[in-house]
Amino acid sequence: MRRPLITLLSDFGTRDYYVSAMKGVILSVLPEAEIVDITHHITPFSILEGAFVLWQAVKWFPQGTVHVAVVDPGVGSGRDPIVIKAGGHYLVGPDNGLLVPAAERLGLEEVRRIENEEFTLERTGTFDGRDVFAPAAAHIARGVPLHKVGARKDDFIRLELFRYETSPEHIAGHILHIDRFGNVVLDVPSSVLPSDWPRSLIVEVERGERFKARVSSHYEEGSPGELLVIGGSSGLLELSVNRGSAAEAIGVLPGQGIKIWPSAAEKSSEI
């Protein structure tokens, strides 16, 4: 029989005791739990980045997995702790939008407030990860039915990751994430890139500077320093530089806007 699987995602870093506190609490409730770290290196307080990484990761886990996510600047204030059932998975964390894109990807079924103190520790007000989310997740992984955890909540906070716009002339998107390799992940599905556009494109960053780029199928394809537009492993467009950092090459940060359109030079050469 498979051990109950619990994943953790947070902005806690790995230098403090916070992550281990959550693991200790989970294993106190459910000693046979198998705990997998998604990451603890989300930029502090960045709900958007946390929501995106969670959205990327959840689909690789089996049904029945309980995902605990904590990027929670509002801890201790009025915001509710929630659990979402989605596609046979459970997501546990704060009601600040963090869990919602992942839940919608899995197929959101129901949202409940975590209320029953039987399944939480005494709250200190500054660390719900340890006091509320970890114990509630362990009890849910142990098989406690959701209706015992708390009442349904339909007015939860939503968060939209994909806010790109397209026109026949251009694609306007945003930078969701910059990975360890400096690949710049956009909020634009790869399928949005028109197949009849030329391989040479222009990429414009938020401050107005423009760069030449080329559509490519993999990272290795570019000559050194060449900016590539690639359909990445998450099904989203990425800007990349072969064995270099695209984020450094074009000087961008998460949250900024990016515009892409066909290179006129290429068009004229085709005529």
Partner 1 sequence: MINPLVTLTTDFGTRDYYAAAVRGSILQECPNAVIVDITHELEPFDLRGGSFILWQAVKCFPRETIHVVVVFPETGVERVLAIRAGGCYLVGPDNGILTMAAEALGIEEVRCVESRAHVTNGAKTFDGRFLIAPAAGRLASGSRLEELGPEVADFKRINLFRAVVGSDSVRGEVLHIDRFGNIVTSVSVEDLPSDWGGDLTLEVKRSLWKIKRATCYAEGSPGELILVGGSVGLVEISLNRANASSLLSLKVGDEITINRPQSP
Q: Is 11 in the site for partner 1 (CB under 8 A)?
A: yes
Q: Shortest gap between Cβ of 29 and partner 1 (angstroms)?
A: 9
For residue 13, state whether it binds partner 1 (rule: CB under 8 A): yes
Q: Which residue in the set 15, 158, 180, 207 belongs to the binding site for partner 1 (CB under 8 A)?
A: 15
Binding piece for partner 1, criterion CB under 8 A, among 11-19, 85-93, 107-115, 161-169: 11-19
- C-alpha dist (Å) from residue 269 to 53, 205, 264: 41, 25, 9
Q: Are strands 210-216 and 200-205 parallel, antiparallel or unpaired?
A: antiparallel
Query: Residue 165 class from Cβ within 10 Å (0-12 exposed, 13-18 middle, 19+ buried)?
Result: exposed
Applying CB under 8 A, which of residues 58, 70, 71, 75 lies at the interface with partner 1? 75
CB 135: neighbour CB atoms within 10 A? 22
Nearest CA to 128 out of 53, 78, 84, 72 is that of 72
Which structure tokens are listed for 226?
Answer: 């060449």
Cα gap 206→169, rounded to integer Å: 18
Closer CB to partner 1, residue 13 or residue 194? 13
Which amino acid is located at 106 in the chain? L
Map residues 18-37 to x or -, x wherever contact with partner 1 holds by CB under 8 A: xxxxxxxx-xx--xx--x--
Q: How far is the CB of 46 from partner 1 (least distance, A)?
A: 11
Q: Indicate the Cα dihedral angle 149, 154, 159, 164, nearest 10°.
A: 140
Q: Is 16 in the site for partner 1 (CB under 8 A)?
A: yes
Query: Which tokens sit at 209?
Result: 């500077």
Q: Which stretch binds partner 1 (CB under 8 A): 15-23, 105-113, 142-150, 212-220?
A: 15-23
Q: Is 74 in the site for partner 1 (CB under 8 A)?
A: yes
Considering the complex, what minimum distance in angstroms separates the CB of residue 55 from partner 1? Answer: 23
Nearest approach, Cβ of residue 23 and partner 1 (Å): 5
d(CA 267, CA 260): 15
User: Which one of 8-16, 80-88, 184-192, 255-263 is the stretch in contact with partner 1 (CB under 8 A)?
Assistant: 8-16
Contact 147, 200 (CB under 8 A): no
Site string for partner 1, 121-150 (x = CB under 8 A): ---xxxx--xx-------------------
Applying CB under 8 A, the residues found at the interface with partner 1 are 11-25, 27-28, 31-32, 35, 44-45, 73-77, 124-127, 130-131
